[in-house]
């Protein structure tokens, strides 16, 4: 028996490092999984890597209400409903001073990182209500609980989704819909390669070494480390847990 037997999960940002790791873990635990992203080639590759007939993909822009509705409809048509929604899609934006930050880039970060999960909730909650409950998990960050120079829009967005999560958790608790965030420290993904290069152009390795030195456990997270926390929150093992921030940061905020 898997921990997610009979469950249907939607994973946005499904073509990225965390999304792929989550898709693999959820399938291993018995779920039917719909991976969602903008990049169809990367999605197809992710599905092939997982190698199961219990995973498929849907190309969508999570900043679009219409696309979010289509994602939920697709999961319902293919698998019968929605029990788990992992709002994992996100972008880092630029590494730049607030004084120099491009306004349109700020808007893009907020659209993807905040509006995306908001629209995901609006589409997923009615489907979960039909199933008698569910779990909605938002990927935040250590940047959701502290500041970081040069990354103000990203930090702002990751703080914002904690407020969204807490409000939704209270609003939908009576429907047995749980809402939580997972807040990773740096993870071995493309996003961190971009941030490292932005912090120290031409010296990304040194930037990474410095960040690792600030993590008590001495390393970045592996995507599977984060996927395992998300599995717990998606499963019935966390049936009484909602409205909470789950740090997965190697002790960074201890």
Ranges of each domain in the chain: 8-184+223-247, 188-220
Query: How many CB atoms neighbour CB 216 within 10 A?
Result: 12
**Residues 163-171, mean pLDDT to the nearest whole number:** 98
Q: How confident is the model at residue 6 (pLDDT cuts 50, 70, 90)?
A: very high
Q: Is the pLDDT of residue 43 over 90?
A: yes
Cβ contact 75:14 at 8 Å: no
Q: Is the pLDDT of residue 157 over 80?
A: yes
Cβ contact 248:185 at 8 Å: yes
Q: How confident is the model at residue 123 (pLDDT cuts 50, 70, 90)?
A: very high
Q: Which two tokens stand for residue 56?
A: 């498929």
**Residues 47-68, mean pLDDT to the nearest whole number:** 97
Where is 217: in which H helix or E strand? none
Q: Is the pLDDT of residue 199 over 90?
A: no
User: What strands lie across the sheet with 84-87, from one edge to the other?
Assistant: 55-59, 32-37, 8-12, 84-87, 134-139, 177-184, 245-248
Q: Is the pLDDT of residue 190 over 80?
A: no
Q: Which two tokens stand for residue 35?
A: 């991976």
Q: Which two tokens stand for residue 19?
A: 């999304």
Mean pLDDT of the chain: 95
pLDDT of residue 114: 98
Separation of alpha carbons 44 and 38, rounded Å = 11
Separation of alpha carbons 192 and 16, rounded Å = 12
Q: How confident is the model at residue 188 (pLDDT cuts 50, 70, 90)?
A: confident
**Residues 177-189, mean pLDDT to the nearest whole number:** 92
Reference 50, options 83, 87, 25; nearest CA is 25
Q: Is the pLDDT of residue 198 over 80?
A: no
Residues forming the active site: 154
CA atoms lying within 13 Å on the CB side of residue 225: 17
Lowest mean pLDDT among 93-97, 106-110, 160-164: 93-97
pLDDT of residue 179: 98
Cβ contact 151:141 at 8 Å: no
Q: Which two tokens stand for residue 90?
A: 């996100």
Superfamily of domain 8-184+223-247: NAD(P)-binding Rossmann-like Domain (3.40.50.720)
pLDDT of residue 187: 84
Pairing of strands 55-59, 32-37: parallel
């Amino acid at each position: 028996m898997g921990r997610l037997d009979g469950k249907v999960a939607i994973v946005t940002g499904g073509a990225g490092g965390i999304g792929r790791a989550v898709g693999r873990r959820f399938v291993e635990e018995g779920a039917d999984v719909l991976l969602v992203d903008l990049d169809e080639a990367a999605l197809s590759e992710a599905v092939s890597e997982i190698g199961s007939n219990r995973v498929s993909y849907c190309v969508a822009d999570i900043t679009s209400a219409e696309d979010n509705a289509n994602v939920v409809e697709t999961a319902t048509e293919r698998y019968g409903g929605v029990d788990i929604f992992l709002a994992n899609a996100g972008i880092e934006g630029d590494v730049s001073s607030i004084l120099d930050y491009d306004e349109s880039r700020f808007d893009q970060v907020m659209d993807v990182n905040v509006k995306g999960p908001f629209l995901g909730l609006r589409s997923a909650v009615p489907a979960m209500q039909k199933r008698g409950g569910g779990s909605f998990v938002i990927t935040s960050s250590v940047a959701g609980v502290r500041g970081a120079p040069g990354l103000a829009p990203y930090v702002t967005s990751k703080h914002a989704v904690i407020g969204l999560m807490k409000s939704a958790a209270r609003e939908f608790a009576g429907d047995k819909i749980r809402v939580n965030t997972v807040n990773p420290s740096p993870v071995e993904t493309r996003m961190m390669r971009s941030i490292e290069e932005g912090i120290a152009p031409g010296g990304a390795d040194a930037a990474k070494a410095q960040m690792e030195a600030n993590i008590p456990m001495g390393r970045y997270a592996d995507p599977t480390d984060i996927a395992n926390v998300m599995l717990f929150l998606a499963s019935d093992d966390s049936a009484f847990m909602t409205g909470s921030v789950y740090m997965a940061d190697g002790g960074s905020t201890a």
